[in-house]
Amino acid sequence: MSAESTPVLDDEGPARRPGPRSGDAPGTPSRTPRSGGAAAYARYAAGRLAGAAVSLLAVLVTGFFLFRLIPGDPVKQMTGGRQVSADQIAAMRREFGLDLPLWQQFTQYCGKALTGDFGTSYQFRAPVVDKIAEALPATLLLTGTAFVLYSVLGIWLGARSAWRNGSAGDRAGTALALTLYSVPSFWLGLLLITTLSVGVGPVPGLFPTGGMETGSTSGFARVLDIAHHLVLPVVTLVAVEYARTLLVMRSSLLDEMGGDYLTTARAKGLRDDAVRRRHAVPNAMLPTVTLLFVNLGTTVAGAILVETVFSWPGLGGLFYQALSVPDLPLVQALFFVFAAAVILMNTLADVIYPLLDPRVGR
């Protein structure tokens, strides 16, 4: 074993294995700059940010035309089947700008959206930005809680599974994770409601069927009430999402376990638990941490079905309401928010990876 391939082990932190990152073929150039210092990193980050800006602009344009393909007339939907004269319908079209040519609607939409003005909601008669601001805290509470839980659970179970590779626990845990990951979130949510909320399961009435709170409590009792309503939606998201983190963590740790530096660590007298905790797991965390940023964006966008199933008053439920009209300004803005969450988290993961990996920039 040469001195170049053997990392230095000390008590200050984990050993770092040199060479390409896990998953890179020998001789494959890195996706991030390894030389040039701050200037090279600045160019790399600027390129990623420019790509994100182009993607956001494409989403803005796509959202305008995509939802105009939905069948149905927003004005007639808002009348609710009431007898309305042609003059009244024409007045409503003028009010919402639907009487303008499509190209003019598009230019007005893009011009206002670039300044943060997404228009006025058809059904709520309120600024779209205000409606999104009202629903955002509920979505952040749901997705934030689920994100923390499935991240911790996936990392912990993935590390244990890799270290006991091939054991009965590893096979059972991986099979369960893959099964839950393939289950549609709305189906799992309905199953939980059936078994734990309505009166046909083994523990009927244990949790509410939907909503965020009963509305009749205050203070600490209100906090407990919201937590009670939060259980089933969070369990649904965690059960579906933790598998991805588990599988990536398991794969990364399996790659690290073959490293010479772990053999050297054991030869220096470190216990197996210390070798795993202090050296193998920190190195295996790099791809997993990157994945967590990506997961955060996809969780926000993927909460639409879960919020709809559990009548959770967040962005997902608001999107469902807007889509049923269709409330074009609101649905366009929400589409942009969901896509932006994914794009920005992907970009953030790309930008911070060189800062997390000490090999980058050498």
Helices vs strands, H then E, count in the chain? 13, 0
From 317, 298, 319, 299, select the one nearest 308 (Cα to Cα). 317
Query: What's 320's DSSP letter?
Result: H
Cβ atoms 341, 297 nearer than 8 A = yes
Q: Which amino acid is located at 350 in the chain?
A: D
Cβ atoms 329, 112 nearer than 8 A = no
pLDDT of residue 102: 83
In the chain the domains, ranked by start, together with CATH numbers, are 37-71+118-186+239-356 (1.10.3720)
For helices 128-163 and 315-324, what crossing angle results, to 10°? 130
Q: What tens digit of pLDDT does each residue of 242-293 get?
A: 888 898 888 888 887 777 777 777 777 777 777 777 777 777 777 888 788 8
pLDDT of residue 18: 46
Q: What is the mean pLDDT of residues 20-37?
A: 45
Question: Over 70: is that where the pLDDT of 124 sits?
Answer: yes
Q: What tens digit of pLDDT does each residue of 65-109 get?
A: 888 877 766 777 676 666 767 777 777 777 777 778 888 888 888
